[in-house]
Amino acid sequence: MKRTIILLSVLFALLSCGRKVKVWENPVIGATRYDQYTIKKVVFTEDSTVLYFHVHYPSMGGFTFGKETYIEADGKHYLITGSDAFELGQYITTDPKTWEKDFKLYFEPMPRNTKMFDIIEGHFEGAYTFFNIRPEGVKLPVGKVPAEYLADYPEEDEWPAMKYSEDPVTIHFKSLNYKPGMKTRLDLWHFDITDPSSFNQDIIYLNDNGEYDYTCKTYYPQYIQIVMSSPGPGWASSVQAMMAPGE
* CA distance to 103, 112, 140, per residue, from 39 (Å): 10, 18, 18
By DSSP bridging, strand 49-56 and strand 100-107 are antiparallel
Q: Report the pLDDT value the prediction gives residue 153, as an integer from 0 to 100.
A: 67
According to DSSP, residue 160 is labeled P
pLDDT of 168 above 50:
yes
Q: Does domain 20-133 have CATH number 1.10.3470?
A: no
pLDDT of 106 above 70:
yes
Q: Where in the chain is the domain with CATH 2.60.40?
A: 20-133, 149-243
Evaluate whether 123 touches 117 at the Cβ level (below 8 Å): no
For 128-144, write each residue's pLDDT tens digit: 999 999 999 898 888 88
Taking the C-alpha atoms of residue 30 and residue 52, their distance in angstroms, rounded to an integer, is 17
pLDDT of 3 above 70:
no
> Residue 155 in 3-state DSSP?
coil
Average pLDDT, the chain: 86
Residue % of the chain over a pLDDT of 70: 87
Confidence of residue 86 (pLDDT cuts 50, 70, 90): very high
For 18-45, write each residue's pLDDT tens digit: 568 899 999 999 888 888 999 999 999 9
pLDDT of 15 above 50:
no
For 108-125, write each residue's pLDDT tens digit: 999 999 999 999 999 888
CATH architecture of 149-243: Sandwich (2.60)
If one counts every other C-beta atom within 10 angstroms of the C-beta of residue 20, the result is: 11
Evaluate whether 245 touches 219 at the Cβ level (below 8 Å): yes
- β-partners of residue 104 are 52
